[in-house]
Structure 1
Amino acid sequence: MSPSAEASSLQIRDVGVSFDGVRALDGVTFSVDAGGVTAVIGPNGAGKTTLLNCVSGLYRHTGDVVLGGASLSGLAPHRRARRGLARTFQTPALVDELPVVDNVMLGAAAMARPEPERRLRERALELIARLGADAVRDQPAGSLSHGDRRRAEIARALLPGPALLLLDEPAAGLDHDEAMGLLTAVLEICGTCVLVEHDVELVMKLARHVVVLDTGRVLAEGPPTLVVRDQKVIDAYLGQEIPG
């Protein structure tokens, strides 16, 4: 069953985190409406991955993270996952000795209610096929290309049927067409995503809302065609205006 629109909405309220006295995020506030892609962009070191680590519970933070109207703050990562939050990482982490289908089935650990193994395997195989990795479903993960490792990791994150998916640079190592095909398929499965991505052209095509971070703060946000024309964003990140 697809999550409701309310369950997929996310509010990030005054989120902050420091490391050894350095403020990595400072009062980050924005909302993610249900449906479509909200992209988080910005220069290296802006705090994009740190933000995903706070939202997913890997880092303790000040402020609040609210999913589907319920606060996640104070919850461990596995409890946030069982509330409907899933994520991927910049470098896919798979069990190299296990076949792809078994790696994907490990996503069941994030499910609020257990399901029979047969049903989980059927779902895993369906996700693998929809993400274009059917040819490698029985291969050990350690033998995969980078692109297929990425597909396997995303399929694993999608297995529990999350309300919202956090994607950390999913296009890294893929060409533009591969990335577009993969992310289009992901959106058909999980309708609400937060995307951290350096490929601005990809962001322009996929995102309906863009948040720009710089030095741990929100520099700008809004529709992508407006954000890429914001002079503050051009100066801090883009270097030049991107055609809309």
Structure 2
Amino acid sequence: MTPSAEALSLEIRDVGVSFDGVRALDGVTLSAAAGRVTAVIGPNGAGKSTLLNCVSGLYRHSGDIRLGGVSLSTLAPHRRARFGLARTFQTPALVDELPAVDNAMLGAAAMARPEREHRLRQRAVELLDRFGVDAARDLPAGSLSHGDRRRVEIARALLPGPALLLLDEPAAGLDHDEAMGLLTAVLEICGTCVLVEHDVELVIKLAGHVVVLDTGRVLAEGPPAQVVNDQKVIDAYLGQEIPA
């Protein structure tokens, strides 16, 4: 498998965003170290997906977002992608009429350098095979199961070898073992990863650092074992201690 681009650190400084007067993010500051998985957890409506939308350029925001020390805040989404950022969404967004392999190849659309189609197809096939979609790679994406659609979307995000991968609830619709196998394979390929996930047991196993959002603010952060036993986090989100 072609290795990822050089991993880059992500710095988010005092980021805020409002919708119709409601403060969805309020002074969020956090770091995602290069080559490490940083998980963002919290209750529904805490601002997790909003944060990823700010990082990827879908939402305008106050504050600053830097990748590898370079500010992304004034860049359009496609320019951030060319800088090495890739992401997935809570609900896989595929072109249903296209085969799975062609959907995966769309990940090359933002690549700065032209590449020959056969090489891109080879890389797409490698990724789909690795994620267990080899038997369905020539089928229309609209005919695939939810799990395979998610695998295709992740392959698309990984195709250009991103320096930063944003994963928005990648385990949704998968059982724990399926999600663990998929994400373990993903993390062997990508560089820096920011993972938004509700499966806290999965987070504990995969993340090196955990950030908890609540009502648009950072409630707690630190190593997984520390965070899941923080009484503030238990009260606001977990409801009970989780063995780490």
Partner Cα separation in structure 2 for residue 214 and residue 70 of structure 1: 28
Partner Cα separation in structure 2 for residue 178 and residue 80 of structure 1: 30
Tell me which residue corresponds to 2:50: 50
Tell me which residue corresponds to 2:168: 168
Describe the SS at the equivalent of 2:53.
helix
Structure 2 residue 182 is the aligned partner of structure 1 residue 185: no
Instruction: Name the aligned partner's letter for residue 50 of structure 1.
Output: T
Shift of 1:191: 2.8
Tell me which residue corresponds to 1:68: 68
Alignment gaps of 5+ in structure 2: none
Q: How does 1:90-169 map to 2 (within 5 A)?
A: 90-169=90-169
Partner Cα separation in structure 2 for residue 35 and residue 148 of structure 1: 26
Describe the SS at the equivalent of 1:128.
helix
Q: Deviations over 1:53-88 (max 9, x none)?
A: 000000000001100111000111100000000000
What's the C-alpha RMSD, in Å, of the aligned pairs?
0.8
Conserved 8 A contact 1:210-1:223: yes
Aligned length: 242
Partner Cα separation in structure 2 for residue 178 and residue 52 of structure 1: 24
Shift of 1:35: 1.4
Describe the SS at the equivalent of 1:98.
coil
Structure 2 residue 2 is the aligned partner of structure 1 residue 4: no
Q: How does 1:8-19 map to 2 (within 5 A)?
A: 8-19=8-19
The farther-off stretch of 185-194 and 53-62 is 185-194
Conserved 8 A contact 2:100-2:140: yes
Shift of 1:3: 2.5
Tell me which residue corresponds to 1:203: 203
Partner Cα separation in structure 1 for residue 189 and residue 139 of structure 2: 24
Stretches of 4+ moved more than 3 A in 1? none
Conserved 8 A contact 2:162-2:191: no
Partner Cα separation in structure 1 for residue 114 and residue 167 of structure 2: 25
Shift of 1:110: 1.6
Instruction: Name the aligned partner's letter for residue 198 of structure 1.
Output: H
TM-score (norm 1): 0.98
Q: How does 1:193-232 map to 2 (within 5 A)?
A: 193-232=193-232
% same residue: 86
TM-score (norm 2): 0.98
Shift of 1:21: 0.7
